[in-house]
Structure 1
Amino acid sequence: MSLVSGTRPPASPPLTDQPPPESYDGTSPFPPDGPQRGRSGGERLYVMVTALIVALPFVALGLAGWLLWGRLVHPVDVLLFAVFYVVTGLGVTVGFHRGLTHGSYRAARPLRYALAVAGSMSFQGDVIGWVATHRRHHAFTDRPGDPHSPYRYGTRLRGQLRGLLHAHVGWLFRNEQTPAERYAPDLLADRDIRAVSRAFPMLCVLTLALPFGLGWAIGGSWLYGVTALLWAGIVRVALLQHVTWSVNSLCHMIGERPFRTRRHDRATNLWPLALLSFGESWHNLHHADPTSARHGVDRGQVDPSAAAIRLFERLGWVDDVRWPTRSRIAARRRS
């Protein structure tokens, strides 16, 4: 299998309508984005759909509790939950994040495409929009221009609590556009990735239809299909979403910072999320060295995403992997 010979993702250019870095003191609330205006019909629809995506899993969880009260969860539900969580989770971490956003490795075309599809089935947005937003986050981490910094409303207690909610889920309701032409031109030029991006609504349907169909087929009853839909479909989507959003919020407020990052960048390592996030919560090292294929570099730091990349490398499906070196780690470690 031949490997693609594409170039690395381009460096994210600054937004021209944001204040220069030296004008932000690191503690004040971010300045307003611009004049406030009423929401258009399209923006109202966006907010309604976002609210549905965020709230529906919790409704489903309540329904699941009601349906299964006094019963055991079917083994099929547990199996399908685990399989779909791992596949879609690695699609986000290995595909969307370490591969497409930061160019930590080069993937064979079929694997690049498959990971983009798997990540899209996580219900976290289309692949091009996801990558553009994350590159913008790195360009303006924890200062004006960052789309989901918990320091948006300042560093006082009230501002921090409001900022935590904003960084976790509130930013999704702002419908603040990040131009893909500026932040992800390489993906816009990729025919395969454009096709995956356009297919996002269909993939959202598929990520729920597959657990239902498999549950019914394996269990032999429509009830097995319904419970599989609830647990391996909607509840799985909810858990993965909130784990990802917790990296945006908690991993910029709570945890350790053994590595140096740029000015105002407060990314942290938060070990309780390491396994559920497939190693993404070793966030401090990631912000210290964004292109590194491994985020958990110290002893005992579990990083399943790095293990998956290593496996793909041994199978010959990826090459040019940017593994961290001792000297590179030492240069970024706080003295």
Structure 2
Amino acid sequence: MTPPAVAAPDAPTRTAPAVEDVDTGTLGGEQKKTWEQVALALFIGIPFLAVLAAVPIAWGGFLGWHDVVLAVVFYTIAGHGISIGFHRLFTHKSFKPNRPLKYALAIAGSLAIEGPVVRWVADHRKHHKFSDREGDPHSPWRYGDTLGALSKGFIYAHVGWLFDTEQTPQRQYAPDLLRDKDIVKVSRLFPLLVATSVLLPAIIGGLWSWSIEGALTAFFWASLVRIALLHHVTWSINSICHTIGDRPFKSRDKSGNVWWLAILSQGESWHNLHHSDPTCARHGVLKGQLDTSARCIWFFEKMGWASDIRWPVKERLEARRVDASARTLKAA
């Protein structure tokens, strides 16, 4: 893959990143700094260790219904913030929200701790431009299609790509968001929203149970375990859903539908249709394909908070079916 050009480290360019930070509203320039890599490792590693410890801790009695409720609520809010907000709205413009809903979805997605909204969108738009080809930031097929190459590519697509020091140019892939003062504001507030996502469950848990133990168990389950689970579900769309799954619709990549991820991913794992028709607001378009994100968008539309929804069109779907060509030839 060809990385974006990086300016030579001479004296005049050393002050450029500070200006670029202001212009783009991110936590750094187009190249990750050492502290960003360290922070990323901590936010991936510590929640993952919590998942490994989850079974013995639950077995020991340190899991209450308060913890379950808080974990489910924060997972649902942050997960739909990613799916509806970062993905279907800000990346693909599947609908038009009113201003409060736009703010709410940008904030909710930031609580997932997957990066500032502008950065996330730039990466995902580049993924669609080069999906499963050279230039894709996280294709599991980047090293080839042998078992060894695919195993290496799978790990890279799942988590390894996050540590690539070269980042997607935001001015190239998300210029519309950089012109949106509301989105830039939320993007700049990302550190505060990270702190909120990590600490708020503990605060609520402590007040709810009126105990230190309640705060600690809520922090463990509704912060650490919830963050790790949502991270790995999101990354599974990059890795699992581009390696296996049904492909009923034509696309120029290897995106597939993985049914057992549908609920946890808020409908994102109906990935084949999404890559066949990226701007469609509903990904689970076939019978029995549960898509909670699409149902939420439907609710927003009924409430008057969203408009111009790009709902699936029957004729458009039929034209994209894999067996459509065969039916056409048979008719001819």
Given the two structures, how large is their TM-score scaled by the length of structure 2?
0.87
Aligned counterpart for 2:41 among listed residues 51, 55, 67: 51
Moved over 6 A (4+): none
* SS of residue in 1 equivalent to 2:272: helix
Paired residues for 1:71-220 under 5 Å: 71=61, 73-220=63-210
Q: For 1:1-335, what aligned pairs fall within 5 Å after superposition? A: 33=3, 43-62=33-52, 67-71=57-61, 73-262=63-252, 265-335=253-323
How far off is 1:70 after superposition?
Answer: 2.4
1:140-170 C-alpha deviation (Å, 9 max, x unpaired): 0000110000011111111100000000000
Q: In structure 2, do the counterparts of structure 1 residues 328 and 42 end up closer, same or farther at CA, with 3 Å as the change threshold?
A: closer
Q: Deviations over 1:120-150 (max 9, x none)?
A: 0101000000000000000000001100000
Distance 1:162 1:32, change over 3 A: farther
1:189–1:236 CA distance, 2 compared to 1 (3 A): same
Deviation at 1:66, TM superposition (A): 5.6
Contact kept? 1:46, 1:175, Cα under 8 Å = no
The Cα RMSD (Å) is 1.8
Q: Which structure: greater helix fraction?
A: 2
Quote the Cα distance in structure 2 between the aligned partners of 1:44 and 1:190: 29
2 CA distance for matches of 1:146 and 1:98? 19
Partner Cα distance (1:68, 1:147) in 2: 37
Post-superposition Cα deviations, 1:224-254, rounded to whole Å, max 9, x if no partner, equal 0110011011110110000000000000011
Aligned position for 1:25: none
The Cα offsets for residues 152-195 of structure 1, whole Å up to 9 and x where unpaired, read as: 11111111000000000000011221111111011001111001
SS at match of 1:90: helix
* 139 and 34 in structure 1: CA distance in 2 versus 1, 3 angstrom threshold: closer
Does the 8 Å CA contact 2:47/2:225 hold for their aligned counterparts? yes
**Residues 201-244 of structure 1: per-residue CA shift (max 9 Å, x gap):** 11010001110110001111011011001101111011000000
Shift of 1:45: 2.4
Structure 2: gaps spanning 5 or more residues? 6-30, 324-332
CA deviation profile, 1:235-281 (whole Å, cap 9, x unmatched): 1011000000000000001111110012xx11101101000000000
1:10 paired residue number: none
Once residues 35 and 62 of structure 2 are traced to their aligned partners in structure 1, the CA distance between those partners, rounded to angstroms, is 39
Aligned length: 299
Instruction: Please report how far the alpha carbon of residue 64 of structure 1 lies from its aligned counterpart in structure 2 after TM superposition.
Output: 5.2
Return the alpha-carbon distance in structure 1 between the equivalents of residues 146 and 187 of structure 2.
39
> How high is the sequence identity, in percent, across the aligned residues?
51
CA contact (8 A) 1:215 1:228 kept: yes
Task: Report the AA paired with residue 199 of structure 1.
Answer: L
- Residue identity matched to 1:202: L
The residue type paired with residue 304 of structure 1 is T
Q: Is the 8 A contact 1:61 1:230 kept in 2?
A: no
Alpha carbons of structure 1 residues 266 and 61: separation in structure 2 relative to 1, 3 Å = closer
Partner of 1:276, secondary structure, is coil
For 1:114, the aligned partner's letter is A
Structure 1 residue matching 2:33: 3-state secondary structure: helix
Residues 49-92 of structure 1, C-alpha deviation per residue, up to 9 Å, x if partnerless? 21111101023335555655421511100000111011001100
- TM-score, normalised by the number of residues in structure 1: 0.86
Alpha-carbon distance in structure 2 between the residues aligned to 1:145 and 1:95: 25
CA offsets 1:270-312 (integer angstroms, 9 cap, x no match): 1010000000000000000000000000000000000000000
